Structure 1
């Protein structure tokens, strides 16, 4: 049951006066007889009741400092500061030679614009001409240009490769990085996203190399920074070519000795001359002695920063050679702590009162490095008219992906609501549902479904082992088109996914629990569907029946509720017949459905076909046959 929220402010002034006046005769032994408002004693009691009522009101009010202290006690974040949006900028140059654009270059739509994005990395802007081409088993350039998604490398565990030709004009190149955007059709947050996580093992071991088109000349890159995590997510890939490389060697090969993906990664876009960029701008100021030199030793001193009103994001400060740091509040500060608060609205640094936070002394030796930007204003769509604020840099830019992730500063009330929601989140694995929730929400990997089998131990398949829990995970893979060439009927998680989920569950398990994270066990199913009568279009009927039953038994979209066939659920001929008939409608009548398991021929039976815990069906074959329509039996006279 839910514990009701206590109300401490439950007495009014009238209640207090009524209670105290009833006690006057007994407490005064009958001496105090005048209880009218004109009596000075009654006046004092009314004053005390008024003051007590105010104290009771304060009991129900939690000040901001108390809320922040409780958040720290619970191990939760204090009110979060503003967050900058992130995107990817693609640079173009009108020069005939590559242009070096350094890290930290600021871009804006016009010189006076407040929305500015700063590059995360150095970029070599190569002269560009033409389009990217891609070749896997055949030329896939048309699919890439139409953003239909090009499946790369496969998922059958064999060696695979993909070849690209980059649209670089012939130009002299000395040193630097070749920066590429690989935009993939993946539910995992991209590398530039604020919610991206690292430390996830790649799904396959990749090798990156270059080649010269129309020749046999090729070689390896000296260094690779793979933001895609092995093509698990969208990201920026930075390649350092070897000495002697030129843009004539514009071919790119990505290969793997074993394509162990859950499904082939789908490439939506490949772009050159790119870098992640964020809605922020870093500045430094030292000429603030007109403010700091006239400070008095009083609490609440402020240092207003230029052009930071409503945009202040972060700051570091040195006063007279001493380093001061920002803090979320002064609650836990002492008189010696060199801390300050960020006032984003006024663009100022606020200092303490000498008790919780030191009072700064007057000085003209001041150095402030601060960052402006952040907030929801940075979120937006695609545009191609970004210019560097430094006119000496001869490039233009376009953001290829939507700028996302920007957020305004969190208020104390919003932090309190967030904390209330966080207390309801699953952080410990106790029940089977807890294991499922934690597995499906594992950051950095795409898990579509999970099933916790309590008592299942891989070392003892025929016994229930107390304390053992086997968690079977199904990766999230595309399910839009069951007839697509890269459709995976039985998705298997890669080793990186299993390792990441296992690491998370290992931290959340109970001390005595033994957790195993495993792939699902698939049972091959062959079906025969008998149709009565003479369907007008047998090809259409077979197609409809096949698609309906494959989707009904699918591990991710099957079942009665469309969330995947339940783990270990028996195959019921009646349920399959119903699913086939609902899909056919009036096209034909389904007479029977026969089921064969593990390569056996389908056998018509009324019994359910059982599956063990952790097992799922995968349809390998569906045959449709037409049988004579059943004649109605004779009625009884």
Structure 2
């Protein structure tokens, strides 16, 4: 039984005044003038006001006790999370020379919202356009013509031609789906597992001058993998994993220098050199950058092609735009390695595929799963955007050497930082220093170490704890952690920022006070990760769950409770499936495996059937990883939606408007089948519950204005033995197994139900229209 918290006194100002006025006739009957102008009434109202304030403060005692209990337990509120993003800096009007280096921590702004760069960014006077070789199947006549043109590439009987269309990877834009190319899909993605980058000089610039400016310089390449992925897995880590491996080879074209070809051009076969990595991030697991060092001036060449060579074999794709070709400085390619050639950061000649690999390509087996380092998440090979002169940014502002005050020598002395919330991670460190007055140099500062629990600190340990939301720093007691010496000066250098204002659209980050002249900045993709902080009421509600799980993932309830506290995401639903592996059968139990089904509260791409994207899953995994048991294999997935078409025929009550009733029935059925509000309890359609036409009929019958339901017809797109979805009709039940949830299209009409097969179509493959590679002579 829940305990009712008593209200000490529920009287308000008006009640107090009325109660005292009622006592006047009993205690002072001679007082008859009770108008507002009477001085006695004025005093009465004054004391009623004071009493009302006193009662308000008394009634807050239980709330204050709960907050104090929350503080004593050490349960800190989740602070607002900062927005993250990728920006590119372009030399729009600057000098054609090796530009300055934009240091890490440079402040950029989207309106009044500050962002800071994560790493140093060398500014080079080049731009880039990304291309892929999209598979294409011409007709028989065209194939015969191409075979004649490219006969020189057919060196052996085992070589065959594979056709492609050069496709530019367009930049994402607001209001349209993001472009996606799968490097491991040889049928619908790319034929060579590569994204090609054409390095371009600024318009009307001398290409030789540009090559001289970028020679031996570091080029920063930004990569944004596709947001939609199947799921994430957290497995038992293995010591020695290479977390700096980007997952992609970065290679540069290396034609043979030749005076016959002309300045800046070369001849010879398609060869590439793997560039040396200066800095790299795992860009196939999340947005990031790869910094590579470009070769010397004499190595920055492009091929002088014969008519039949351009775009053929392993050469770069065709450039049919003369304006782009006239600005080409060099070609880079980002190649997804096969399982037998794991990515490394060493430079050297790039081991390429067989000589005929573009317009003529040897058959090659592509591994859809890619490669996976031990203890890491399997990379996704789907890419949305690639650009140069890119750097990551975070919604953060740096404060250097803020003076906090003097030590008093008392236990658990605390200081509050001037700015909150505080951001602490590898790129945004918190440095708290105490001046050491005991040594010979009075200006010696000693850095103290942050610790989660002061009571775990040794007696003389120079440690402190931090509440990121409030900016409160607490030092030790002398028994658990050292005290700050009396009179010692304390200072802190830190980063702060976060909040929903960090969510910015494409092109919002455009200002930078310290940008060199002639350079412009923009964000080609919307920012991500920004979130509001946890309120005190949410923290109070988490007290009982925290006492159960103690910030560790052990039971199914622990997984659900901690997942709901993930900062920076708007989680609508979470389901815990112990012993369930997403790739195993629905009835198979796998020891040590836990699968989480997460559904966001909203999805701009599909409001009816929301699915988590890569950034959503990354946030959940990043939150759960330090809290899971090391032997637990954790999978975080979105729903597997089953397309269902439901047609309901109703007979309205006489006098009701049929269209209004039909709309109400359609809304009720969609709500009943929703992944967030469906089911009998309104918390989402239950996992493993079979969908029946009788359930739909019962929901429609309960809608006001419905006399009775005439009929219900149902159709679904179910997987066939070959893997493709096939429309099956009619159906009275649709079984849901594993992570499956219904994605329903509801049709409602008066009278007999319409045949839903008219609306249901087989789920088609994604087809992209591309131009045919023109023949050359």
After TM superposition, the score normalised by the length of structure 1 is 0.52
**Residue 132 of structure 2: aligned partner:** 135
CA displacement at 1:280 relative to structure 2: 2.7
Cα pair 2:195 2:335 within 8 Å, conserved: yes
**Residue 51 of structure 1: aligned partner:** none
CA displacement at 1:336 relative to structure 2: 7.3
In structure 2, C-alpha distance between the alignment counterparts of 1:263 and 1:461, rounded to whole Å:
23
Matches within 5 A, 1:618-637: 624=757
In structure 1, C-alpha distance between the alignment counterparts of 2:407 and 2:248, rounded to whole Å:
62
Cα pair 1:335 1:358 within 8 Å, conserved: no
Residue 248 (structure 1) aligned with residue 329 (structure 2): yes
**Residue 493 of structure 2: aligned partner:** 370
In structure 2, C-alpha distance between the alignment counterparts of 1:139 and 1:326, rounded to whole Å:
55
CA displacement at 1:471 relative to structure 2: 4.0
Matches within 5 A, 1:125-204: 125-128=123-126, 132-137=129-134, 138-141=165-168, 143-144=170-171, 146=173, 148=176, 149-153=178-182, 160=190, 161-169=193-201, 170-172=210-212, 173-183=214-224, 186=227
| 3-state SS in 2 of match to 1:388 | coil
CA displacement at 1:569 relative to structure 2: 3.7
CA displacement at 1:429 relative to structure 2: 6.6
Q: 1:128 to 1:437 in 2, by over 3 A?
A: same
CA displacement at 1:179 relative to structure 2: 1.6
Residue 507 (structure 1) aligned with residue 548 (structure 2): no
| 3-state SS in 2 of match to 1:178 | strand
CA displacement at 1:597 relative to structure 2: 7.0
Instruction: Give the one of 231, 238, 243 matched to 2:291.
Output: 238
Q: 1:209 to 1:555 in 2, by over 3 A?
A: farther
Residue 280 (structure 1) aligned with residue 397 (structure 2): yes
CA displacement at 1:124 relative to structure 2: 1.4
For each residue in 1:130-177, what CA deviation from the matched residue of structure 2 results, as whole angstroms up to 9, or x when unmatched?
x62433514543743646421111676989524233454233234453
Residue 385 (structure 1) aligned with residue 511 (structure 2): yes
Q: 1:314 to 1:115 in 2, by over 3 A?
A: farther
For each residue in 1:202-236, what CA deviation from the matched residue of structure 2 results, as whole angstroms up to 9, or x when unmatched?
99954433347998342323227554641x43333
Matches within 5 A, 1:415-494: 418=539, 420-421=541-542, 423-424=544-545, 471=595, 480=605
**Residue 97 of structure 1: aligned partner:** 97
Structure 1's unaligned 5+ residue stretches are: 10-55, 189-198, 532-550, 580-588, 627-637
In structure 2, C-alpha distance between the alignment counterparts of 1:521 and 1:505, rounded to whole Å:
24
| 3-state SS in 2 of match to 1:91 | strand
Matches within 5 A, 1:255-274: 255-257=336-338, 258-260=367-369, 265=382, 267=384, 270-274=387-391
Cα pair 2:118 2:394 within 8 Å, conserved: yes
| 3-state SS in 1 of match to 2:513 | strand
Cα pair 1:435 1:452 within 8 Å, conserved: yes
For each residue in 1:242-291, what CA deviation from the matched residue of structure 2 results, as whole angstroms up to 9, or x when unmatched?
56664933433343543449987462574534343553336469xx9xx9
Cα pair 2:281 2:290 within 8 Å, conserved: yes
In structure 1, C-alpha distance between the alignment counterparts of 2:472 and 2:620, rounded to whole Å:
48
Matches within 5 A, 1:387-426: 387-388=513-514, 395=519, 397-398=521-522, 418=539, 420-421=541-542, 423-424=544-545
CA displacement at 1:241 relative to structure 2: 4.1
**Residue 221 of structure 1: aligned partner:** 275
After TM superposition, the score normalised by the length of structure 2 is 0.44
In structure 1, C-alpha distance between the alignment counterparts of 2:112 and 2:730, rounded to whole Å:
72
Structure 2's unaligned 5+ residue stretches are: 10-57, 135-164, 202-209, 230-240, 256-264, 301-327, 339-366, 370-377, 423-429, 437-441, 650-669, 700-709, 745-754, 760-777
Cα pair 2:596 2:636 within 8 Å, conserved: yes
In structure 2, C-alpha distance between the alignment counterparts of 1:595 and 1:142, rounded to whole Å:
35
For each residue in 1:453-500, what CA deviation from the matched residue of structure 2 results, as whole angstroms up to 9, or x when unmatched?
678799998989899987485899999489xxxx9x9x99xx999999
Q: 1:322 to 1:296 in 2, by over 3 A?
A: closer
Cα pair 1:126 1:168 within 8 Å, conserved: no
In structure 2, C-alpha distance between the alignment counterparts of 1:406 and 1:152, rounded to whole Å:
27
CA displacement at 1:388 relative to structure 2: 1.3
CA displacement at 1:298 relative to structure 2: 9.5
Q: 1:133 to 1:571 in 2, by over 3 A?
A: same
For each residue in 1:392-413, what CA deviation from the matched residue of structure 2 results, as whole angstroms up to 9, or x when unmatched?
x8855445566777899x9xx9
Q: 1:69 to 1:217 in 2, by over 3 A?
A: same
CA displacement at 1:602 relative to structure 2: 8.6
In structure 1, C-alpha distance between the alignment counterparts of 2:276 and 2:531, rounded to whole Å:
38
In structure 1, C-alpha distance between the alignment counterparts of 2:114 and 2:623, rounded to whole Å:
38
Cα pair 2:464 2:473 within 8 Å, conserved: yes
Q: 1:64 to 1:264 in 2, by over 3 A?
A: same
In structure 1, C-alpha distance between the alignment counterparts of 2:60 and 2:690, rounded to whole Å:
61
In structure 1, C-alpha distance between the alignment counterparts of 2:7 and 2:450, rounded to whole Å:
33
Between 1:261-270 and 1:86-95, the stretch displaced more is 261-270
In structure 2, C-alpha distance between the alignment counterparts of 1:519 and 1:296, rounded to whole Å:
50
Cα pair 1:326 1:342 within 8 Å, conserved: no
In structure 1, C-alpha distance between the alignment counterparts of 2:281 and 2:126, rounded to whole Å:
23
| 3-state SS in 2 of match to 1:236 | strand
In structure 2, C-alpha distance between the alignment counterparts of 1:480 and 1:335, rounded to whole Å:
55
CA displacement at 1:127 relative to structure 2: 0.8
Cα pair 1:151 1:264 within 8 Å, conserved: no
Cα pair 1:577 1:593 within 8 Å, conserved: no
CA displacement at 1:348 relative to structure 2: 13
In structure 2, C-alpha distance between the alignment counterparts of 1:280 and 1:461, rounded to whole Å:
49
**Residue 42 of structure 1: aligned partner:** none
CA displacement at 1:123 relative to structure 2: 1.3
Between 1:88-97 and 1:427-436, the stretch displaced more is 427-436
Q: 1:325 to 1:259 in 2, by over 3 A?
A: same
The count of residues paired between Structure 1 and Structure 2 equals 503
| 3-state SS in 2 of match to 1:164 | strand
